[in-house]
Structure 1
Amino acid sequence: MGDAEPRAADRGRAPWPPIDLLGRIRRDPAHMAERAALFGVERIGEEASERLARIRRSGDPPEKVRETVIARGVHTAIVEGAFVGGPFIALIPTAFCAALLAQGRMVLELGELAGRPATSPDRAVDMLVLQGVYTTPEEARRALEDLPEPGSGPAPRLSWREWLRVVGRMAYVLGVISPGSSTPTGRLNRYLRWVAVTLLVLVGMALPFVWVPVLGVAYRSATLRLATRASVLFGLVDGGAGPAERTRGRGRVRPLALLVFLRTVAVLLLPFAVSVIMVFSGADVVGHRWLAVAVAVVGVSLVSCLVWRFRQWRRSR
């Protein structure tokens, strides 16, 4: 594993982790999952150990600590990954990297809780197995050992098709989009999912805030599934227990379905209401009424995004 990642002494001069990870993925897109797993251990392994130590100072029992780690991991993945859409659509790769690191930090903390050091290269093996990249630890370990040396020059220019393929693989590794099976029903479901994603992109270009509740629900579900698999792998819960027992305490981070539905409807109706007001008020921009409507709709959507982001930042602080 000759990946020359920055050590602790260099972290103060290192770029923001999601941007740094994105640059490494661009240099070696064929090994996106492996680079991300190694990067997580090298860059945030020590931080995960320190965060878990702070949580443990409360004196809570291990099960309570596990629930706290999962709740924080889910919340961070949502906050860091869902702020995309509209003019922010170019931030999707960076948001995916941020969500990957949030999930990785949660897994490292769960491993540390089970007595498995977060800074050990074996945690990268665990991550690849938990993400479904490899089916066995042996396969993941061989892949990491055979990983080529990272390129030292500037990141190569990728075509749009290559870059979309990398972003799509990020979505699969994150668990936001599940790969379909080879059966006719599986292929149909896969096509329907991509149609839904395409419609989301088109609607999100005009109404950016629509992405927030949709991706928020997707990140929450994917991160909780990852937490369950990690808890079983690390022996924190009984693998034979039912889903309710394995994920006890998840209700604290579960948004009510009705609240999500009402919030989504609200962000759809608000721009529509603004456009109706603009039409009947006779407002215009440089003599064009419909230009004024378009500016108002986009403006309301952007303000909604920024308000949501500010509220989530306040909560995380």
Structure 2
Amino acid sequence: MRNRRRAPREPSSARPIRSVTVEAQALLPMIWGDPEHMPEQLAFFAVRRFGHRAAAAVERRREREPGAEPAELNAGIISRGTRVTIAEGVVVGGPFIVLIPVSFVAALLARAQMVLELAAVAGHAPESEHRVAELLILQDVYASVDEANDALARAERHPPGGPGQLPRRTRWQLIVKMAALLGLISGGKRSRAQQTLSIVSFSCLFLIGLALPWIWMPVLAVFYRQATSRLGAKAAMFYAQDPAAVRAGHGRRRWTHRVLKAPGITSVLRFVALALLPVATAGAAILTEIHVAGGPWGTGLIVLCAVSLVTAAIWYGHRWSRNH
């Protein structure tokens, strides 16, 4: 029994592994302190905090599956990364609307760890400085390594952190940028009309989610699943072709997909079906003339919100228990 093999330890320090949400709360002050370089700060932080963690996760996966090929390891990493991204990023409806920045950053960090693990499978050190620029390229923030490195040179490595009292317009712009990184709205170069339409659509969806989180949370999960799976496939392809060779060439994105497509008809039907549950329950309360507060219409509004919040909590609890 003395020769029992010990599980690998984190090589960085004795600091316990913290959840993605806790790490997101640590990163947010740095983003508030340097809002202009939000993607760069997120990439710096991800490699700094999640690089060694990603290497250890891949090592544990290889120990559990000693005969697995890289493609099999990648598939497992993308599957888990997608599930964790959904679990971390969907709490943004109803009274949880104030958690949008934390949820979005947590989802972005979960996706970053997935990319770093894919790099480790391909034999690249996930804690290397090279991974910072590659994260920005894979997220379509910049088109080439040179552009990414130029932007990183202008960003402060360890910003002191802001007090969180940014102007509302700046804070909203940051949330929109996070949504673009997550694939919730189209990114890249767009006309002013396209930007306006995208932001208006994004705002309307969140207004719906404010009243009916049971609708918004599963729909948001569909977007996360599509975008994260697409990012994982893109990253696996990128690292399989050797990033060093890409740097030696033109450094352009020949492996990327452009803009995330909207969910298909199945997702739309699911959205409509989910909308019927709280609305139908509220309508039944009004028709049966149940009086709780403010007459039948006040009762209907209370039932609508209550059913929406309860079902959202049940759905999220189920997703969280499955993914953790």
Aligning the two structures, in what range does the TM-score lie when normalised by the shorter sequence?
0.7 to 0.9
**Structure 2 partner of 1:33:** 39
Tell me the C-alpha RMSD between the 2 structures: 2.7
> Once the two structures are superposed, what CA deviation does each residue of 1:39-62 show, in whole Å capped at 9, x if it has no partner?
111111111111111221213111
Distance 1:35 1:67 in 2: 28
Are 2:285 and 1:275 aligned? no
Pick closer, same or farther for the CA change 1:219–1:287 going to 2, 3 Å.
closer
Pick closer, same or farther for the CA change 1:121–1:11 going to 2, 3 Å.
farther
Work out whether residues 112 and 118 of structure 1, in 8 Å CA contact, stay in contact via their aligned partners in 2.
yes
* TM-score normalised per structure 2: 0.82
> Once the two structures are superposed, what CA deviation does each residue of 1:206-237 show, in whole Å capped at 9, x if it has no partner?
21122112211221222122223212221269
Query: Of 266, 279, 292, which aligns to 1:285?
Result: 292
Query: Of 25, 48, 68, which aligns to 1:42?
Result: 48
**Structure 2 partner of 1:94:** 102
Which shows bigger deviation, 14-23 or 207-216? Answer: 14-23
Work out whether residues 181 and 187 of structure 1, in 8 Å CA contact, stay in contact via their aligned partners in 2.
no
Query: Of 242, 260, 266, which aligns to 2:273?
Result: 266
**Structure 2 partner of 1:241:** none
Are 2:124 and 1:133 aligned? no
Structure 2, unaligned runs of 5 or more: 1-11, 243-254, 256-262
**Superposition deviation, residue 309 in structure 1:** 1.0
Identity of aligned residues (%): 37
**Superposition deviation, residue 63 in structure 1:** 0.8
**Structure 2 partner of 1:148:** 156
**Paired AA for residue 114 in structure 1:** A
**Paired AA for residue 146 in structure 2:** E
Which shows bigger deviation, 294-303 or 221-230? Answer: 221-230
Pick closer, same or farther for the CA change 1:69–1:180 going to 2, 3 Å.
closer
Pick closer, same or farther for the CA change 1:234–1:99 going to 2, 3 Å.
same
**Paired AA for residue 323 in structure 2:** S
Are 2:205 and 1:200 aligned? yes
**Paired AA for residue 56 in structure 1:** R
Query: Of 88, 98, 116, which aligns to 1:80?
Result: 88
Distance 1:68 1:119 in 2: 21
**Paired AA for residue 232 in structure 1:** M
Distance 1:143 1:60 in 2: 38
**Superposition deviation, residue 181 in structure 1:** 4.2
2:135 match: secondary structure: helix
1:196 match: secondary structure: helix
1:116 match: secondary structure: coil
Distance 1:179 1:173 in 2: 7
Pick closer, same or farther for the CA change 1:75–1:189 going to 2, 3 Å.
same
Distance 1:294 1:236 in 2: 56
**Structure 1 partner of 2:75:** 67
Query: Of 159, 164, 183, which aligns to 2:172?
Result: 164
Distance 1:258 1:173 in 2: 24
**Paired AA for residue 82 in structure 2:** V
> Once the two structures are superposed, what CA deviation does each residue of 1:16-48 show, in whole Å capped at 9, x if it has no partner?
101111121111111111110011111111111
Distance 1:278 1:157 in 2: 42
* TM-score normalised per structure 1: 0.83
2:240 match: secondary structure: coil
Distance 1:121 1:152 in 2: 21
Length, aligned pairs only: 293
**Paired AA for residue 53 in structure 1:** E
Which shows bigger deviation, 38-47 or 256-265? Answer: 256-265
> Once the two structures are superposed, what CA deviation does each residue of 1:117-160 show, in whole Å capped at 9, x if it has no partner?
11112111110111122222223223323323544365252111
**Superposition deviation, residue 180 in structure 1:** 6.0
1:8 match: secondary structure: coil
Query: Of 292, 308, 319, which aligns to 1:301?
Result: 308
Work out whether residues 180 and 190 of structure 1, in 8 Å CA contact, stay in contact via their aligned partners in 2.
no
Which shows bigger deviation, 228-237 or 38-47? Answer: 228-237
Distance 1:164 1:74 in 2: 25
